[in-house]
């Protein structure tokens, strides 16, 4: 069935126009004034609302065996939460660990999503070891349309790679034309500092940040950049949390290293005092890199506004209260992660656009278009143009609400952003021309989501 959105105030990067949008057979077929509705078209009046391209979250964890447990969401719950919050595509980290076979892991991650997600999705393929079969396995993964890798410089002996494996991964990525995303913290320093703090009897969640200080992240970021520089590969730092690491990335950018930067929702709105709250309240705010001293937030906001932080993701990774309590005797056992897939867009709109930190153009770019461009999804995703998928977010700027675990769709019993006010939310969200969300309710087709096959674009 066709979909006609009338009187849309269309916001894309570099343009703002008032027009109607016609979608047929999943794609946008016309944009213009007073378009005629085909017979049986569904008509949505967007008068007074902004219309954005579907938002893209470039960094989520849905199926994740990690820290002696599993992240709580399924693709059913995560995709519905994503859509209600305006995210129509997410890129999940496929994370087999060092002891797993990479290809078996890839098939397992795919099987968890297939037929389950209500929105479109793709994967970043983690490289958690580099052994004899790795090159041929990664070639198969890229040929299957997963044209981005992920490496961890943290999580020693689990996801983490050593410098030799880092080099081999980047060298292969360069030959394959694939971008490499990286969690940048020095695993050895983290392990040493954790042991030192525990030996001093420092076991609570407030010691998580001191066990992985800013310098440890800056070192990881700088080292990743140096390896990119010497392999000529293209890289993307995930969930950058602090000014020191930002400076390391920007210094590399300024000497021509092909490095891009993502920061994520928790680091803009939460600071380390949240993880210093007593007991499980602190544990709920443990993630890595950790929540930082508040002064870092202004550096992140400025860099986001300028575009030197390219993308705004979530690192969505839900563990519930009971799971967080696995770390009640030692902060090193607290499952790392803070969910945010449902609230990312509304909180960015509220704290970015409404508070005057971001213009609308950068808002759309950081939360949608830039990720589409970096990860080979553009112009199918990340814009509103004839030929693009009809993933559209009709956004109600007059909406007022409050983030709460009581009303969320993420499968978790708390929300790290509990009580924060939002000034705007999607009133209609479409995936390839089908209305999936109306006024905060999922009314669409479960399992509509497709895996997005991506080409290697860095050749």
Instruction: Choose the binding region for Zn ion from 24-32, 134-142, 308-316, 403-411 (rule: CB under 5 A).
Output: 308-316
Least Å distance, CB 338 to ligand URP, is 7
Considering only residues 278-297, where is the footprint of ligand URP by CB under 6 A? 287-288
> Does residue 337 interact with ligand URP by CB under 6 A?
yes
Least Å distance, CB 315 to ligand URP, is 5
Position of tokens 């020095």? 186
Least Å distance, CB 185 to Zn ion, is 8
Residue 85: strand pairing partners: none
Q: Among 72, 150, 156, 183, which residue sits at the site for Zn ion (rule: CB under 5 A)?
A: 183
User: Closest residue (Cβ) to ligand URP?
Assistant: 336
Q: Among 315, 342, 389, 391, which residue sits at the site for ligand URP (rule: CB under 6 A)?
A: 315
Starting from the edge strand earliest in sequence, which strands make up the sheet with 87-94, in order? 55-60, 87-94, 120-126, 148-152, 179-183, 235-237, 259-264, 311-313
Kindly tell me which of 61 and 324 has the beta carbon lying closer to ligand URP: 61
**Residue 436's CB: how many other CB atoms inside 10 A?**
28
Considering only residues 313-332, where is the footprint of Zn ion by CB under 5 A? 315
Kindly tell me which of 350 and 412 has the beta carbon lying closer to ligand URP: 412
Q: Among 49, 61, 75, 351, which residue sits at the site for ligand URP (rule: CB under 6 A)?
A: 61
Least Å distance, CB 336 to ligand URP, is 3
Kindly tell me which of 20 and 57 has the beta carbon lying closer to ligand URP: 57
Number of residues interacting with ligand URP: please give it, by CB under 6 A.
9
User: Contact 325/382 with Cβ under 8 angstroms?
Assistant: no
Kindly tell me which of 219 and 389 has the beta carbon lying closer to ligand URP: 219
Least Å distance, CB 67 to ligand URP, is 9
Q: Which does 337 bind (CB under 5 to 8 A by kind): ligand URP, Zn ion, none?
A: ligand URP
Number of residues interacting with Zn ion: please give it, by CB under 5 A.
2
User: Contact 64/75 with Cβ under 8 angstroms?
Assistant: no
Kindly tell me which of 239 and 357 has the beta carbon lying closer to Zn ion: 239
Kindly tell me which of 183 and 357 has the beta carbon lying closer to ligand URP: 183
Kindly tell me which of 19 and 71 has the beta carbon lying closer to Zn ion: 71
Least Å distance, CB 340 to ligand URP, is 11
User: Contact 422/343 with Cβ under 8 angstroms?
Assistant: yes
**Binding string, 177-216, against ligand URP, x = CB under 6 A?**
------x---------------------------------
**Binding string, 188-207, against Zn ion, x = CB under 5 A?**
--------------------
Least Å distance, CB 394 to Zn ion, is 30
Q: Which does 82 bind (CB under 5 to 8 A by kind): ligand URP, Zn ion, none?
A: none
> Does residue 336 interact with ligand URP by CB under 6 A?
yes
Distance CA 105, CA 150 (A): 14
User: Contact 369/291 with Cβ under 8 angstroms?
Assistant: no
Distance CA 260, CA 239 (A): 11
Kindly tell me which of 239 and 272 has the beta carbon lying closer to ligand URP: 239
| Alpha-carbon separation of residue 161 from 154, 158, 209, 284 (angstroms) | 8, 9, 22, 27
Distance CA 329, CA 355 (A): 40
Least Å distance, CB 167 to ligand URP, is 21
Q: Among 44, 242, 317, 377, which residue sits at the site for ligand URP (rule: CB under 6 A)?
A: 317
Kindly tell me which of 189 and 317 has the beta carbon lying closer to ligand URP: 317
Considering only residues 244-283, where is the footprint of ligand URP by CB under 6 A? none
Kindly tell me which of 50 and 374 has the beta carbon lying closer to ligand URP: 374
Position of tokens 């970015």? 352
Distance CA 167, CA 163 (A): 6
List contacts with Zn ion (CB under 5 A): 183, 315
Site of interaction with ligand URP (CB under 6 A): 61, 183, 239, 287-288, 315, 317, 336-337
């Amino acid at each position: 069935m066709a979909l006609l959105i009338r009187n849309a105030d269309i916001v894309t990067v570099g343009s703002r126009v008032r027009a109607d949008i016609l979608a047929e057979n999943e794609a946008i077929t016309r944009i213009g004034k007073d378009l005629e509705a085909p017979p049986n078209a569904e008509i949505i009046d967007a008068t007074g609302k902004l219309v954005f391209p579907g938002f893209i979250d470039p960094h989520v964890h849905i199926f994740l065996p990690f820290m002696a447990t599993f992240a709580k969401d399924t693709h059913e719950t995560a995709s519905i939460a994503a859509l209600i919050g305006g995210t129509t595509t997410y890129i999940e980290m496929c994370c087999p660990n060092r002891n797993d076979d990479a290809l078996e892991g890839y098939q397992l991650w795919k099987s968890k999503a297939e037929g389950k997600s209500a929105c479109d999705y793709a994967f970043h393929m983690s490289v958690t070891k580099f052994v004899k079969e790795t090159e041929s396995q990664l070639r198969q993964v890229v040929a299957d349309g997963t044209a981005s890798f992920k490496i961890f410089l943290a999580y020693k002996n689990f996801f983490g790679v050593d410098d030799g494996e880092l080099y081999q991964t980047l060298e292969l990525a360069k030959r394959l034309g694939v971008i490499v995303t990286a969690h940048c913290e020095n695993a050895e320093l983290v392990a040493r500092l954790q042991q030192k703090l525990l030996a001093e009897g420092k076991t609570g969640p407030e010691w998580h940040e001191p066990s992985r200080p800013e310098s440890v992240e800056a070192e990881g970021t700088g080292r990743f950049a140096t390896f990119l520089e010497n392999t000529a590969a293209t890289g993307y730092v995930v969930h950058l949390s602090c000014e020191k690491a930002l400076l390391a990335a920007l210094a590399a950018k300024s000497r021509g290293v092909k490095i891009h930067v993502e920061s994520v929702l928790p680091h803009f709105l939460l600071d380390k005092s949240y993880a210093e709250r007593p007991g499980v309240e602190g544990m709920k705010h443990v993630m890595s890199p950790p929540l930082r001293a508040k002064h870092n937030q202004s550096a992140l906001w400025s860099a986001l506004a300028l575009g030197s932080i390219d993308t705004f993701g979530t690192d969505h990774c839900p563990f519930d209260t009971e799971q967080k309590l696995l770390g009640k005797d030692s902060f090193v056992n607290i499952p790392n992660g803070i969910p945010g897939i449902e609230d990312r867009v509304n909180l960015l709109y509220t704290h970015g656009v409404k508070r005057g930190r971001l213009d609308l153009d950068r808002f759309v770019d950081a939360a949608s278009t830039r990720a589409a461009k970096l990860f080979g999804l553009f112009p199918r995703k990340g814009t509103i143009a004839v030929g693009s998928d009809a993933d559209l977010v009709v956004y109600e700027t007059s909406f007022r609400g409050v983030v709460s675990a009581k009303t969320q769709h993420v499968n978790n019993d708390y929300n790290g952003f509990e009580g924060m006010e939002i000034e705007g939310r999607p009133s209609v969200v479409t995936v390839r021309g089908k209305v999936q969300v109306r006024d905060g309710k999922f009314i669409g087709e479960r399992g509509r989501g497709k895996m997005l096959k991506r080409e290697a674009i860095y050749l």
